[in-house]
A = this chain, B = another copy of it.
């Protein structure tokens, strides 16, 4: 380990990924990259929490199905979400019935769970793991802000919580054999996507106390993890086709670029290669001036857009960072600022494909 970075010498394979989103997300610029767009944000359930849990379950089941495995082949399920006591994940895991590790990293959960799944499979602790994360606008609004019925208004800088989930199946050696088999089939030109390293984040607190300013709260943590990753690996923006953060949104992305510029990173490189899921998922003109946020934002974009672009080899090396704001439902009322965290996972299309 180089200080904060885990190196995966056995390069675990991301066998499959599945992304699922709600109606508005499906209408956005990323719409065609998702595996499933629901026209019913309730997912047929009587409460928003159960809707989110159902959506997450569909993502997990979708990823397992696409991997060519069955539920019984998966050794571990790693999941988290934004709800109190990760309700979506716990109840999903009860229904899925795979040994379960619950995580909480707020919106950093997708890369947190992928990092842990990579460690488990790279180290030979298990053959296959599924990792996932979700968020739902309606459950998040009620929990962190106001119930929808209140008709709450928000400032333009405030991002909108994405209705979405993403899941990936990660496999070690056994998975690779399986994967080679799969790629001799109809999907034979698709790239084999491996995880080569991951950088675990430190908490950074910029002193932001306004929970509408999540992007500003998370930007310093995102940059800190990017710089730690570059320091530990000797890499730079040049190594990657894309460096993509989770849900900084428009304001947060601009702040992150300012901080990176101060750290000596060239603006041209950033303009070419730096992206943020929160700025990609919605059409800004459609009332989403702040962009998207929530665990489901990076989960659905990574499992949809990024994974598929890597499969078609139009992206070969990507550094993905899910970014989390670790406030609680009551910490703002106790005068606390918002701690941010970001975990980075480096994916590459395997050369021996």
Q: Which residues of chain A have a CB within 8 Å of any CB of chain B?
A: 1, 3-4, 6, 46-47, 49-50, 75-76, 80, 82-87, 89-91, 93-94, 97-106, 112, 116, 119-120, 122-127, 200-203, 205, 326-331, 334, 336, 339, 341
Asked if A127 and B1 sit within 8 Å, CB to CB, the answer is yes
Q: Please, which residue of chain B has its CB at the minimum distance from the CB of A139?
A: B330
Asked if A87 and B330 sit within 8 Å, CB to CB, the answer is yes
Contacting residues, chain B, for A331 (C-beta < 8 A): 49, 85, 87, 91
Contacting residues, chain B, for A326 (C-beta < 8 A): 85, 90-91, 94, 102
Point out the residue from B104, B112, B202, B329 that lies within 8 Å of A97, measured CB to CB: B202
Point out the residue from B82, B90, B99, B341 that lies within 8 Å of A339, measured CB to CB: B90
Contacting residues, chain B, for A6 (C-beta < 8 A): 125-126
Contacting residues, chain B, for A125 (C-beta < 8 A): 1, 6, 119, 123
Point out the residue from B46, B100, B202 that lies within 8 Å of A98, measured CB to CB: B202
Q: Please, which residue of chain B has its CB at the minimum distance from the CB of A83?
A: B328
Asked if A101 and B329 sit within 8 Å, CB to CB, the answer is no
Contacting residues, chain B, for A82 (C-beta < 8 A): 85
Contacting residues, chain B, for A94 (C-beta < 8 A): 203, 205, 326, 339
Contacting residues, chain B, for A341 (C-beta < 8 A): 100, 102
Contacting residues, chain B, for A85 (C-beta < 8 A): 82, 84, 104, 106, 326-329, 331
Asked if B203 and A100 sit within 8 Å, CB to CB, the answer is yes
Asked if A102 and B103 sit within 8 Å, CB to CB, the answer is yes
Asked if A103 and B104 sit within 8 Å, CB to CB, the answer is yes
Taking A1-B75, A1-B125, A80-B104 as given, write out 18 further A-B residue pairs in contact, using a Cβ cutoff of 8 Å, ordered by the A residue number: A1-B126, A4-B99, A49-B330, A83-B328, A85-B327, A86-B104, A86-B328, A90-B328, A90-B339, A91-B326, A91-B336, A93-B203, A94-B205, A100-B202, A102-B103, A102-B112, A103-B103, A116-B116
Q: Please, which residue of chain B has its CB at the minimum distance from the CB of A106?
A: B85
A114 → chain B closest CB, angstroms: 13
Asked if A87 and B119 sit within 8 Å, CB to CB, the answer is no
Q: How far, in whole Å, are A201 and B205 apart by their CA atoms in the complex?
A: 34
Of A50, A86, A90, most B-chain CB atoms within 10 Å: A90
